[in-house]
Amino acid sequence: MGAAMAFGERNPSVGRQLQMRLQARYLELEIGRLAQENERLRQQCADLSASADLWIHLYEAALLRAAKGGH
């Protein structure tokens, strides 16, 4: 045993179990992060849609005023 053994080399199933647990934890964290990002993006989309609707309304009103000769 000249060189140090890597963790899990003596019992490979322990190494695999640990790797699977770590991967599962990482995926849980990633799912949570993606859910938060998705919510943030949905809110931004709603804000942009509301803003676009407002600008369209203002533009249409300006067109009607221009068609009637108003300022």
- Print the domain residue range for 33: 12-71
Are 7 and 15 within 8 A, CB to CB? yes
Is 57 inside a domain boundary?
A: yes
Is 4 inside a domain boundary?
A: no
Is 6 inside a domain boundary?
A: no
pLDDT score, position 26: 98
Residue length, the chain?
A: 71
- Tens digit of each residue's pLDDT (9 = 90 or more) over 10-62: 777 888 999 999 999 999 999 999 999 999 999 999 999 999 999 999 999 99
Is 35 inside a domain boundary?
A: yes
Domain count, the chain: 1
Is 1 inside a domain boundary?
A: no
pLDDT score, position 9: 66
